[in-house]
Amino acid sequence: MNQFANILSVENILLDINVTSKKRAFEQAALLFENHQGVSRSTVFDSLFSRERLGSTALGHGVAVPHGRIPNLTQPAAAFMRLANPIPFDAPDNENVNILVILLVPENATQEHLEILASLAKTLSNEEIRAQLQSLDDEEAIYHLFAQS
């Protein structure tokens, strides 16, 4: 099992949600982390939005990896969201995004943060994996795809 699968849980996978903007997507992610990890939604939202203001976290091919550092978080946490309709995300290829892999890390987890991001970028650069993330309709199947990649 890879490092990312260790911080993703099936309960943090949302499929085909309806949001119309980055802001709404981040609000959904913040609510998810508040409900499942006990991290304040405003802290999550502010962290994701602050990082996004520095530059888009979109990778291209309809995928983005919003991430943020969270004070007092003891372990990294992750979520996967597939949007019902792609939204603008300032991607390098100008393609709208409907796959969001959200990563939260402790404020001081610099090396671990970079390792997880590098692993995610490698996984999400695989065209076959992206196609499966678009088509699988079961949260468990999405989780197992990440666990095996």
Among residues 36, 67, 113, 144, the one annotated as catalytic is 67
67 is catalytic: yes
Interacting residues of 85 by C-beta distance below 8 A, sequence separation 6+ = 18, 20, 98
3 state SS of 47: helix
d(CA 10, CA 13): 5
Report yes or no: 103 and 37 within 8 Å, Cβ to Cβ.
no
d(CA 92, CA 74): 32
Interacting residues of 36 by C-beta distance below 8 A, sequence separation 6+ = 9, 11, 12
Containing H/E element for 34? helix 22-37
Which residues does the annotation mark as catalytic?
67
